[in-house]
Amino acid sequence: MNPISVTETEIEIVTPPKEDSEVVPVTVFYKNFEIVDCEGSCEYTYSDSLTPKIDSAVFTGYDLVFTGTGFTSSSCSLIIDGLEQKSCTVNSDTSISSTVDDLKFLVGIFKIKL
């Protein structure tokens, strides 16, 4: 599994879906040596009910609205082709909206990270 980002204090990865409530051990290697220095447990429990899901994305004018389930965070960020947009709002557990800042993103196919 390749990390998305690595800092001195955090490793961000995307984990594949597992069976609901399956406990998954986490092991970190650096230069072929196992690092066991976890704050708390070195495992996570996958929960399908806690995993946000996007059902649709609707783009109208400069506004981009995502609908789905599990948007429980009070904040969000929208990154389009590596450029973070200024506006991202969690409207409810089922809706997130953003205003696209750059005109170049109005037409085409882009990588979106929400």
Cα gap 55→4, rounded to integer Å:
23
pTM: 0.62
Report, as an integer, the average pLDDT of 85-97: 91
Report, as an integer, the average pLDDT of 74-103: 86
The predicted-structure confidence for 35-46, as pLDDT tens digits, reads as follows: 666 666 777 777
Report, as an integer, the average pLDDT of 47-58: 84
C-alpha pair distances (Å), 24 with each of 15, 16, 36, 42, 104? 10, 11, 15, 9, 41
Reported confidence tier of residue 1, pLDDT bands at 50, 70, 90: low
Is residue 94 within 8 Å of residue 109, measured between CB atoms?
no
Helix (H, G, I), strand (E, B) or coil at 52: coil
pLDDT at 45: 74
- Distance of alpha carbon 48 from the chain centroid: 15
